[in-house]
Amino acid sequence: MSEAAARQPAHEPNASLADWIAVGAGSLGALMASLDISITNSALPQIQGEIGASGTEGTWIATGYLIAEVVMIPLTAWLTRVFGLRTFLLSCATLFTLFSIQCGLAHSLPEMIIGRIGQGFTGGALIPTAQTIVATRLPRRQMPIGMTMFGLIVLLGPLVGPVVGGWLTENISWSWCFFLNVPVYFALASLLLLGLPHTKSNFGLLRRADWFGIFGMTAGLSCLTTVLEEGQRERWFESSLITGLSIVSGVGFVVLLLSQMFAKEPVIKLRLLLNRSYASVILIVLVVGSVLYGVLYILPQFLSNVAGYNAFQAGQILLISGVPAFMMMPILPQLLGRVNMKMMITGGLICLAWSAFLDTHLTAESAGGDFIASQLLRGVGQIMAMMPLNQASVGAVAREDAGDAAGLYNMARNLGGSIGLALLGLFIDRRVEAHGDMIREAVTGNSLLAQSRIAGSAANFAASGGGDLAYGRMQALKQLAAQIDLQALVITYSECFWMLGVALLASISLVFLLRTPRRGGPTAMH
C-alpha cells in the first residue's frame, strides 16, 4: 500500500456512540473542574467570615487550588498510562467530589485549604484528559465537533463560575458552590462507565518512573505558582519566603531539565517543544492565557472599585463574552474543518486585541454598559483563537503523544494566567502610585480651580456638620484625595488594557510558524 493510500481519510470509520459518550464524559469533567476555578471568587468574603480567615489568609483558598492543579496537569498523561484512562478518571472524579464535600463542610481555614488542594490536584486531571479523549477517540474529520465541545466548556467555565457562585451564595449558601459537584459527579461516572472501556493498569511504570523529574517538576511548578500568586502581596523579594521559594523553583527546574537528558522515560515530554509548530502553539497560548485571565481580573476590579458593582453584577458583565460562543456553536465545527487555521487564529487575536483597545478610554463614570461591545468582541476573539489552538496542540504531534501534548498545553494556559496576573498586579501598584503623584503635582495650592473646588466642598460639609469650617475643609481635602486616587486607578486600568492589546498583536507573528495538520496525518491513525 502506498503512503498516499495509507493517509486516505475515507478509510477512517466514523466515531461510535461509545466514542461520543466518552467525549461527553470528558467535557462534563472539564466543566466541573473549570467551574471550580472561579466559582468561589464571588463567595470568598462569606467563606472567609464563616471559617474565620483574614483577607490575606483567604487568598490561599484560590492559590492552593491553582498550585495543585498546575502540578497535576503535566503528570496526567503518565498517570493515565499507569492506572488506565477509565480507572484514573473515575478515581479523580470521585476524589474531586469528596474534596468538594469537605470544602462545603469546612469550619476552619486548614480544612478549607486541604480540601481546595485536593480539588486542584484531582481536578487538574479532568481538563487535559478531556482533550486527550477527543484527540484519540475521534477521527480527524469529526475532531472539530469534539474540540468545539471541549473548547466551549474550558472558555465558559471561568465565566459562568462567578455568576453561579454569586447566585448560590446570595440565595442559598456558599457551601452549595461545592455541593453542586455531587449531582454532576453521578452523571459523569455513568458516562465514563458507558463510554470508556476498562484498560489494564501498568504499575511497572511506577518502578521505572522518572522520580527525579517528578520531584523537580513538582518543586519547580508549585513554588513558581506560589511566587506568582503571592509575590505582590508579600512585596516580592523583600520577603524571605518569596526569595526562598524562587530559589527552590529554580533548583526544581534544573533537576527537571537534567532528567530530560538522562531519564529513559521522562515524566513529561519536553522534547515536544522541539516541534516548531507545537512550540508556537504553546507560546501563543501563554500570551492568550495571560490576557484572558488578566481581563477576568481587571474588569471585575474596575466594576467593583470604580462602578460600585457587587460580585454577582460584575459576573453578569463577564458572562456577556460567552454569548458569541452560544451563537456560533452550530457553525464552529464547520469553521474548524474548513477555514484555514492560521487565518482563524490571526482573526481571533485581532478581535481580542481590538476588544482590549476599546477599553482604553475608561473614565470614572464608566459602568457595565460601556463594556458590552468589547465583551462581545472579546467573546468572538476567544472562540476564533482558542478553538483552533486546542486542535493544533494535539494535531501537531503523533497520536500517542496527544496526552502529553494536552498536558503541556493546559499547563501553559494556566501558567500564562499566573504570569499575566503577577505582572498586572505589579504594574497596577506602580502606575497607580505614579499617576497619583502626577495628579497631586498638578493640583497645587496656587491653582485657583482647585482652591475654588475645595472651598465649595468645605462649605457644603460645614453646613451639614453644624457649621464647623475646620471639619468641612478636612472632609473636602479627604474627598479630593479620594478623587485623585480614583482617577489614578482609572488611568492605570486603561493602560492595562492597552498593554494586553499590544501583547496580543505581538503574538500574531508566532501564527506563521504554525503548521496546518495534514488530513489523515499521524494523529488521525488509530
What is the secondary structure of 452-487 as a DSSP string?
A: HHHHHHHHHHHHHTTS-HHHHHHHHHHHHHHHHHHH
What confidence tens digit (pLDDT) does each residue in 57-103 have? 666 777 778 788 888 888 888 888 888 888 898 999 999 999 999 98
Look at 111 and 12; give whichever has higher pLDDT.
111
Residue pair 56/233 in contact by the 8 Å Cβ criterion: yes
**pLDDT band with cut points at 50, 70 and 90 for residue 163:** confident
What CA–CA distance (Å, rounded) separates 112 from 404?
31
Q: Please give the average per-residue pLDDT across 276-295, as a whole number.
A: 85
Q: What is the pLDDT of residue 445?
A: 54
What residues does each domain of the chain span?
15-202, 210-266, 434-488
- Burial class of residue 520, CB neighbours in 10 A (0-12, 13-18, 19+): buried
Half-sphere exposure of 120 (CA within 13 A, CB side): 25
**Tally of CA atoms within 13 A in the half-sphere of 328 that contains its CB:** 23
pLDDT of residue 443: 66
pLDDT given at position 139: 81
Q: Where are the alpha helices (DSSP H) in 39-125?
A: 44-51, 55-83, 85-105, 109-123
User: How are the residues of the chain apportioned to helix, strand and coil, as percentages rounded to the nearest 5?
Assistant: 80, 0, 20
- Residue pLDDT, tens place only, 125-146: 888 888 788 877 778 777 777 7
CB atoms within 10 A of CB 508: 18
The pLDDT score that the predictor gives to residue 3 is 39
Q: What is the pLDDT of residues 334-392, one digit of tens each?
A: 777 777 888 888 998 999 999 999 998 888 888 888 899 999 999 888 888 888 887 77
Cα-Cα-Cα-Cα dihedral sign, residues 97, 98, 101, 102? negative
How many whole angstroms separate alpha carbon 425 and alpha carbon 233? 9
C-alpha 421/C-alpha 460 separation (Å) is 42
Residue 466, sorted as left (phi over 0), alpha (psi -120 to 50) or beta, turns out to be left
Question: How much is the pTM?
Answer: 0.75
Coil, strand or helix at 32: helix
pLDDT at 424 over 60: yes
Give me the torsion for CA of 477, 480, 486, 488, rounded to 10°: -100
In three-state secondary structure terms, 252 is: helix
358 three-class SS: helix
**DSSP character string of 493-524:** HHHHHHHHHHHHHHHHHHHTT--PPPTT-GGG
pLDDT at 354: 94
The DSSP symbol for 234 reads T
Name the maximum alpha-carbon separation found in the chain: 99
Q: Tell me which architecture the domain covering 15-202 has in CATH.
A: Up-down Bundle (1.20)
